[in-house]
């Protein structure tokens, strides 16, 4: 591998880390509780899992030069892997009812992060039945 390729990969990795932390800050300011960061299982990886009241959100963070590119960067295969990982997470953590007996709802969101702008939180970016 050429040195410039390695430098590009390092820069992309660093930018991805910054995007995740910016997303966490925004979500906490919005009242979400961070349950997991970089949840990994055999089925796939979920960047952020957060909760607000009885809603658990599985969030994919995409860092691109503009919001539109970030939103279109999520492929159908990635969505399917995230859905399978979400099913694994819910089964592992026995999410279905809260302690008060309230039902838990889930959704899939995208945080689109572009340079020098606040991250864009796209709620319910795609649908899946869990």
Reduced 3-state DSSP string for the chain: CCHHHHHHHHHHHHHHHHHHHHHHHHHHHCCCEEEEEEEECCCCEEEEEEEECCEEEEEEEEECCCHHHHHHCCCHHHHHHHHHHHHHHHHHCCCCECCCCCECEEEEEEEEECCCCCCEEEEEEECCCC
Which has the minimum average pLDDT: 1-10, 22-31, 48-57?
1-10
Whether residue 61 has pLDDT greater than 70: yes
Whether residue 97 has pLDDT greater than 60: no
Whether residue 55 has pLDDT greater than 90: yes
Whether residue 1 has pLDDT greater than 60: no
Whether residue 130 has pLDDT greater than 70: no
- The CATH class of the 3-126 domain is alpha beta
């Amino acid at each position: 591998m050429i040195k410039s390729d390695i430098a590009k990969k390092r820069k992309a990795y660093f930018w991805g880390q910054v995007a995740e932390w910016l997303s966490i800050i925004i979500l906490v300011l919005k009242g979400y509780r961070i349950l997991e960061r970089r949840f990994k299982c055999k089925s796939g990886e979920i960047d952020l899992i957060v909760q607000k009241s009885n809603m658990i959100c599985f969030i994919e963070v995409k860092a691109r030069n503009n919001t539109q590119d970030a939103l279109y960067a999520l492929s159908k295969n990635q969505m399917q892997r995230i859905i399978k990982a979400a099913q694994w997470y819910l089964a592992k953590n026995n999410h279905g009812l809260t302690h008060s007996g309230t039902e838990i709802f889930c959704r899939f969101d995208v945080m689109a992060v572009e340079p020098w702008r606040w991250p864009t939180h796209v709620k319910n970016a795609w649908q899946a039945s869990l």
